[in-house]
Amino acid sequence: MTLEIFKQAFQAGYDEIHRRFETHGQGDDTVHENCFLIDQMVRLVHDFAVSHEYPAGAATTGQVMSVVAVGGYGRGELAPKSDIDLLFLLPYKRTSHGEQVVEYILYMLWDLV
């Protein structure tokens, strides 16, 4: 159910970007809009993972995480259907919570398309 909701949101965003490109033909706008769409999807999936799938209450220093875009995506230049390169920064000491959240995010993003 959750995956279907994310898929619908992604597809709606993708369709809107495609419509704008077909109307205006601005490639620069398209690559920036693609980045914004993926930013929002990563944020939504992450937030859902930590609040509903793997809630940890008040996060300790061992449960903090940063998700960083790298490559073309990190530069804000993501062509349609391009790979999404993400870097997960976690504390030195690995926890099962952190691994579960990362795994959930990756599987959900892989299954979006």
Residue 38 · residue 70 · CB < 8 Å: no
Check pLDDT > 80 for residue 113: no
The 10s digit of each residue's pLDDT in 29-84 is: 999 999 999 999 999 999 999 999 999 777 677 778 999 999 999 999 999 889 99
Closest CA to 88 of 75, 100, 76, 72: 100
Predicted pLDDT at 102: 97
The 10s digit of each residue's pLDDT in 11-32 is: 999 999 999 999 998 999 999 9
Q: How far apart are CA 73 and CA 12, in angstroms?
A: 20
Predicted pLDDT at 105: 98
Burial class (CB in 10 A: 0-12, 13-18, 19+), 83: exposed
Q: What are residue 5's phi and psi, to 5 degrees?
A: -65, -45
